[in-house]
Amino acid sequence: MSVYKIEAGTAQHIGSRSLQTDRAALYTAARSPGYVMAVVSDGLGSAAAAEQVLHTSKQLLDEYRAGETANLPRLKDLLRTVAQEAHDIIVMSPASGAEPQATMLVLILTPQGQAVWAHVGDTRLYRFSGDQCSGRTNDHDYVQYLVEHDKLPLEAAKKHRSTRMLVNVLGNRQKTPFVTTGEQTGLKAGDSFLLASDGLWQYFTDAELGAVLSRATPRQASEKLINKAIERAKGKGDNCTMAIIKLVAPPTEAPAYTVQRMGKAV
């Protein structure tokens, strides 16, 4: 198994908005040592729904009991449950004005060098090996779902963001959230993950994000990305939120030498 240590952090900027409705958090599992969770949620209209995503994620992670080896299908079921329970609570919550809604992106790392994630909406997960992007979440699965399940024409499905009834978020009373999951095994030092709200990722190419993450600590990288996003938004930026997890090689321990005076040869 590859040996690495985890460096992680979260960061936010309000952008040019009057309210910060995004939320981000990092958690460790209370009953499953070595399991780490990262969560980013983009609240729509208010922070209430995003707060609920964080609360439900933490609660269900703390209740999770892992076996001796990670069970990836079981972890995916856990993340689907996070989405469904958070959605149900948000829908039942009394709302004044616009109903609370939120995107969801949750990532779990296991002690066995594996990653599992789930997302609802347009908050993105990027995976990097060094400075190369090895994959990211997208809307392809949801568009295909709209075509196959709802029998929508492909072009109409591609325009789902502009149709409130079809938008994929937690808290949409007209639509059950569609949860997409993914996994990666064989994690090693040099791999990294970026969870980002649309107020961040829309201003960068995959290559730009990879270059920044590979050359800086999570704190340094988040500062650089936020500053550049603000610059590129030109005063029209959305809330900007991220969580960064980097897997780095542990420091090499210097050998402990004992210096002794040599005896005189006879």
Q: Please name every residue paired with 104 in a beta bridge, in sequence order, or none if there are none.
A: 120
- Is the pLDDT at 266 greater than 50, yes or no? no
Q: How do residues 116-171 score in pLDDT, each as one tens digit?
A: 999 999 999 999 999 999 999 988 888 887 888 888 887 877 777 767 666 899 99
d(CA 15, CA 237): 5
CATH for 5-248 (3.30.70.260, 3.40.50.2300, 3.30.70.920, 3.60.40.10): 3.60.40.10
Q: In whole angstroms, what separates CA 41 from the centre of its chain?
A: 8
**pLDDT of 145:** 77
**pLDDT of 257:** 57
Structure tokens at 38: 């990262």
How distant, in Å, are the alpha carbons of 75, 111, 205 from that of 227? 35, 34, 15
Sketch the domain layout of the chain as residue ranges: 5-248
Q: Please name every residue paired with 5 in a beta bridge, in sequence order, or none if there are none.
A: 248
* Residue linked to tokens 């960061």: 11
Closest CA to 179 of 190, 188, 168: 168
- Is the pLDDT at 239 greater than 90, yes or no? yes
Q: What percent of the chain clears pLDDT 70, i.e. is strictly above it? A: 91
